[in-house]
Amino acid sequence: MRAYGNQTESELGRLLPLIEIFRGVSFEFRPRARRSRFLWDLGFAGGSLVAAFAQGIALGALVQGIEVVDRAYAGGWFDWLSPFSLLTGIATVVGYTLLGSTWLVMKTEGELRARAARWAWRTGAATLVLIGIISLVTPFLNPVYLQRWFSWPGSIFSVVVPALLFYCVWVFLRGMRERRDAYPFIAAQAMFVICYIGILISFYPYIVPPSITLWQAAGPDESLRFLLVGALILLPMILAYTGYAYWVFRGKVRPGDGYH
């Protein structure tokens, strides 16, 4: 049964890159299509939805714990599928929609910006509700999580993390109300970062809870030193390139702008 389970997981793992490829193809073909444009729209939207939902389910399955025996997966075929993982899948879709809508608020004007703002309000409220539900449920999935968040000194995080999240909400609301269009996007990104910091706080020192710690999963020291040198060189280059790209394409996108 384990062999069939691993085969199923492998097939699912191969499916996600195919979905990503189809999304990219849909994005390129859509501007050139006429009668079939709606099909490419559906392909791109559907692929994006499935990819986001799958990422959320995978994250939820990791948070709820993966059964490992002798460094091998020992769970069943559908251990990843649970009410909690479905909830995190929905939360990821809603959160990504929030990021997309706030990006459109920042980059567009007129009717498109107004539509994006309406979606930003809706998905912003839904994201906060889902963050609250998941945050309340997560500590009870694993005794380690409960101890980490509600015993000293970990209980400090139970105050600091929500305070940072509320500050992001305040920035989001201020940006939306005062039409400071970059604020909502920055605030939405910060919400994601804070949520991932919360996951790190819950996980540490595990990389695959509740079985494998960071130290057990780490490679040989020589390999880690090699990767560190590469990261020290490449990471600043990636950050610089990303910052430069945002700077070059700063400001609003107006009708008639684009490439040919």
Which pTM does this prediction carry?
0.81
Q: Which helix (H) or strand (E) segment is 159 a member of?
A: helix 157-178
pLDDT per residue of the chain (260 residues) written in tens, 0 to 9 = 344 344 444 445 566 667 667 777 777 777 777 777 778 888 888 888 888 998 899 888 888 887 777 767 666 777 788 899 999 999 999 999 999 999 999 999 889 999 999 999 999 999 999 999 998 898 888 888 888 788 887 788 888 889 999 999 999 999 999 999 999 999 999 999 999 998 888 888 878 787 788 888 788 888 889 999 999 999 999 999 999 988 888 888 876 665 44
- Tell me the C-alpha to C-alpha distance, in Å, between residue 139 and each of 166, 216, 246: 20, 24, 38
**In contact, 45 and 66? CB cutoff 8 Å:** no
**In contact, 184 and 175? CB cutoff 8 Å:** yes
69 φ/ψ angles, rounded to the nearest 5 degrees? -130, 125
**In contact, 67 and 75? CB cutoff 8 Å:** yes
How confident is the model over 98-114, as pLDDT tens digits?
999 999 999 998 899 99
How confident is the model over 210-250, as pLDDT tens digits?
778 888 878 888 888 999 999 999 999 999 999 998 888 88
User: 68, 55, 61, 67: which is closest to 94 by C-alpha?
Assistant: 55
